[in-house]
Amino acid sequence: MTDRPVRLDRPVTDLPGVGPALAGRLADGLDIATVRDLLTHYPRGYQDAGDVVDIAEVRAGEPATLIGEVLDWQTRRVPPKGARKRPLDLAEARVRQASGNVFGVTFFNQRWRASQLAPGTVAAFSGQVKRFRDRLQLASPDVQVLGQVTSGADAAAAAEQLRHQRLLSVYRATDGLASLKINQLIDDALAGLPPIEDWLPERLLDELDLVDLDAAVRGIHQPPDHATRQAARDRLVFDELFSLQLGLQWRRRRLEAATMGLDNGPVTGGLADGLLLALPFAPTGAQTRAMTQIGEDLAGPRPMHRLLQGDVGSGKTVVAAWAMLCAVDRGRQAALMVPTEVLADQHHRTLSDLLAPLGVNVLDGIRVELLTSSTTTSERRRILGELLSGQVDLIVGTHALLEEGVRFADLGVVVVDEQHRFGVSQRVKLKDKAAATVAGDPTGPDVLVMTATPIPRSLALTLYGDLDVTVLDELPPGREPITTQLITPDQAHRRSKLEDFIRTEVAAGRRAYVVCPFVEESAALPGRGAVEEHARLRDEVFPELQVALVHGRLSARDKDAAMAAFRAGEAQVLVSTTVIEVGVDVPEATIMVIEDAERFGISQLHQLRGRVGRGGGRSFCVLFAGWSSALNDDALERLTAVATTTDGFELADVDLAIRGEGQLFGKAQSGLPDLKLARVQDDLAVVQTTRTLARQLLDDDPDLEHPGNATLRTEVLRRYEGGLDAFAALETG
């Protein structure tokens, strides 16, 4: 042990008693490498004095956490026995609880415990309760020292008082690292850590009534009471959200400062106008409002960064197509990036259909191409060449668009669909493609981001802190209502009724989807496989019908063929995995059957259901659940929500409430720093405050250059380190 002060960005091995083995367990089990990592491993809860049990209430064989005052120690040496060749040092303490009850604690070969836990020490002991002779004891428990009983005072009363002075933090533990061990490490770290410098100015803390950073970090781990714990949390949540908003908005300002917008404003009498005239329907009010807003962005002096949100079927594609044509009207190109091949295919087809009246891929028409990883090498070479020469106007594609070698002559508009599946950095990357074409080109394309399913406002403001938001809050007329039913195994007879119903519907010219969670069944995961279900339906259930199959492991050709057959009505039933989750549009499909529905998330179910009700008549969604695995409460809550409402925004809120943003907002998915404490739905007010605050701050100091903002700058860059490659690029470039 050294007396060097502990530093936040040093490895945990700087801490007393942390050797390579323990450091390895911290790294492997909890992803903790530095002291800072350790101190941001926040308690997942707190044990209140009231939760700590008395030895009189526990039985041998149970785990327990007991708090008490060490009375005395006895040590003895146990001679070698059997296979054990060496003697054992056995130390046993008697510990008295506030109730006056006494229990024993034993340690083997840990003599130092007697000095760590001298008589008068109050500590929490956590471990398995054993019976030894007539007494209950804890053998080799985890220990956290809570304090000392002051001499002369009544020991029991003092212990009682200590118990009430301090909450015991409970940490997420891992193999070989109990919560109490983490407690002890954190105590050691905090004991050696000089006061933490605050990155926020005092004036702001006063204004917002926040405690300083040092108090917050200590208070979250060692709160004497709930008020302190709460104040600490408030401050740390603020830090997480403020640095996030500041980072996102700062990056946006830098991009804006570095890039000038292109004038992609709508041209009267151009192709975009032509599209609207050629539509077989009138745009909804919401679509018109969205196009007006987007049109202003397109014409504006700065590149557009807009998020277009709308429920499934609200008609985002038309809006996107319109924006893309605006670029073409200005002699530029547009790209649409989507997360899956099936969706790329679908969009390519939809765009081609929508634009058909304007002339697609004909002499003097609009050139539309598709680029995915299954595009053949020669096709790819041709397309890349024509993209670079400017012959291709619109390109639809997957991640393949991000590859090296994809260059545009003059990229004007970028649309990213189903954005929540792409990382922020990927969004930025596609944008950067435009600039990469001409070295030193100071202009940047307009970017429109679309989400597949609505995301809650709280999450939109957080996740897309750098985007303006448009919501399509109106569905096109003529939408058929969708009846959703949940069928559990106790209603087995309903399966054959459904099969009869599908026959009737098909006879009336309608079609059905059957979605399975897996491509093939396996022993490892219970649930239906599309391959087996396809064979069963084709051979046993619907021998008189054509049943097609589509899943991700098929070749692009087989996938295309299956989709084409279903679209054309040559196949009336389509068995698939979730590859049809987004975007697929077959109006005659009126039945969506989802097998093992408990295996899907809310937004997935909502997306799948959105494949029906598209104009072919009254529609049905049938959720089979609990057939291959038992339904837990969360699953039941999800399925019930989906069965009771078709409002995507409402479902998004339920989803967020059930899952928490941990999963919706994972580091890997979003490319953003972790939110460890913030819960955007509960902390919506803080999301809004920090968003506004960040904006005001950057209005005054767009590049965080004022000396007074130096600590903010440092903190944001530190938090984004490695998370947003765009930041690193900006800093060096």
Using CB distances below 5 to 8 A depending on partner kind, what does residue 318 bind out of Mg ion, ligand ADP, none? ligand ADP
**Cross-strand bridge partners of residue 469:** 307
By CB under 6 A, residue 283 contacts ligand ADP: yes
Q: How far is the CB of 695 from ligand ADP (least distance, A)?
A: 29
Amino acid at residue number 54: D
Q: How far is the CB of 346 from Mg ion (least distance, A)?
A: 8
- E strands, 427-487, are 443-444, 446-450, 468-472, 482-487
CA–CA gap between residue 142 and residue 138 (Å, rounded): 9
Using CB distances below 5 to 8 A depending on partner kind, what does residue 315 bind out of ligand ADP, Mg ion, none? ligand ADP
**Cross-strand bridge partners of residue 622:** 485, 593
Continuous segment of H or E residues that includes residue 547:
strand 547-550
Amino acid at residue number 121: T
Decide: helix, strand or coil at residue 287: helix
Using CB distances below 5 to 8 A depending on partner kind, what does residue 141 bind out of Mg ion, ligand ADP, none? none
By CB under 6 A, residue 372 contacts ligand ADP: no
Applying CB under 6 A, among 427, 528, 614, 719 the residue interacting with ligand ADP is 614
Counted residue by residue, the chain has a size of 733
By CB under 6 A, residue 284 contacts ligand ADP: yes
Point out which span in 226-234, 309-317, 332-340, 427-435 binds ligand ADP (CB under 6 A): 309-317
By CB under 6 A, residue 312 contacts ligand ADP: yes
Q: How far is the CB of 211 from Mg ion (least distance, A)?
A: 46
Applying CB under 6 A, among 223, 456, 476, 671 the residue interacting with ligand ADP is 476
Q: Are 186 and 39 in contact (CB under 8 A)?
A: yes
Q: Are 620 and 592 in contact (CB under 8 A)?
A: yes
Q: Which is nearer to ligand ADP, 132 or 281 (CB)?
A: 281
Decide: helix, strand or coil at residue 137: strand
Applying CB under 6 A, among 165, 201, 281, 632 the residue interacting with ligand ADP is 281
CA 393, distance to chain mean position in Å, is 34
CA–CA gap between residue 214 and residue 343 (Å, rounded): 50
Q: Which is nearer to ligand ADP, 249 or 340 (CB)?
A: 340
Which string of DSSP letters, residue by residue, matches 564-621? HHHHHTSSSEEEE-GGGSSS---TTEEEEEETTGGGS-HHHHHHHHTTS-SSSSSEEE
Amino acid at residue number 615: G
CA–CA gap between residue 90 and residue 74 (Å, rounded): 8
Q: Which is nearer to ligand ADP, 617 or 660 (CB)?
A: 617
Q: Are 416 and 450 in contact (CB under 8 A)?
A: yes
Point out which span in 276-284, 330-338, 640-648, 678-686 binds ligand ADP (CB under 6 A): 276-284
In this structure, what are the phi and psi dihedrals at residue 42, rounded to the nearest 5 degrees?
Answer: -75, 155
Applying CB under 6 A, among 106, 249, 309, 314 the residue interacting with ligand ADP is 314
For the record, the structure tokens of 326 come out as 């605006």
By CB under 6 A, residue 287 contacts ligand ADP: yes
Q: Would you give the DSSP letter of residue 81?
A: B
Q: How far is the CB of 588 from Mg ion (least distance, A)?
A: 18
Using CB distances below 5 to 8 A depending on partner kind, what does residue 310 bind out of Mg ion, ligand ADP, none? ligand ADP
CA–CA gap between residue 446 and residue 631 (Å, rounded): 46
CA–CA gap between residue 237 and residue 217 (Å, rounded): 11
Binding site for Mg ion (CB under 5 A): 583
By CB under 6 A, residue 585 contacts ligand ADP: yes
Applying CB under 6 A, among 104, 141, 310, 529 the residue interacting with ligand ADP is 310
For the record, the structure tokens of 484 come out as 């959703």
Point out which span in 57-65, 268-276, 311-319, 532-540 binds ligand ADP (CB under 6 A): 311-319
Using CB distances below 5 to 8 A depending on partner kind, what does residue 336 bind out of Mg ion, ligand ADP, none? none
**Cross-strand bridge partners of residue 472:** 310
Q: Would you give the DSSP letter of residue 359?
A: -
By CB under 6 A, residue 648 contacts ligand ADP: no
Count the Cβ atoms, other than its own, within 10 Å of residue 494: 15
Q: How far is the CB of 477 from ligand ADP (least distance, A)?
A: 6
Using CB distances below 5 to 8 A depending on partner kind, what does residue 119 bind out of Mg ion, ligand ADP, none? none
Q: Which is nearer to ligand ADP, 249 or 346 (CB)?
A: 346
Q: Which is nearer to ligand ADP, 295 or 313 (CB)?
A: 313
Using CB distances below 5 to 8 A depending on partner kind, what does residue 287 bind out of Mg ion, ligand ADP, none? ligand ADP
Point out which span in 39-47, 106-114, 316-324, 673-681 binds ligand ADP (CB under 6 A): 316-324
Using CB distances below 5 to 8 A depending on partner kind, what does residue 549 bind out of ligand ADP, Mg ion, none? none
Using CB distances below 5 to 8 A depending on partner kind, what does residue 410 bind out of Mg ion, ligand ADP, none? none
Q: Are 595 and 488 in contact (CB under 8 A)?
A: no
Applying CB under 6 A, among 127, 219, 315, 465 the residue interacting with ligand ADP is 315
Count the Cβ atoms, other than its own, within 10 Å of residue 435: 17
- Give the β-pairing of 63-78 and 446-450: unpaired
By CB under 6 A, residue 317 contacts ligand ADP: yes
Among candidate residues 694, 597, 698, 590, the one with its CA nearest the CA of residue 642: 597
Q: Which is nearer to Mg ion, 454 or 583 (CB)?
A: 583
Using CB distances below 5 to 8 A depending on partner kind, what does residue 476 bind out of Mg ion, ligand ADP, none? ligand ADP
Q: Which is nearer to ligand ADP, 451 or 458 (CB)?
A: 451
CA distances from 613 to 160, 484, 487, 510, 550 (A): 65, 11, 20, 11, 21
Among candidate residues 709, 207, 670, the one with its CA nearest the CA of residue 466: 670
Q: How far is the CB of 13 from ligand ADP (least distance, A)?
A: 53
Q: Which is nearer to ligand ADP, 127 or 310 (CB)?
A: 310
Residues forming the site for ligand ADP (CB under 6 A) = 281, 283-284, 287, 310, 312-318, 476, 585, 614
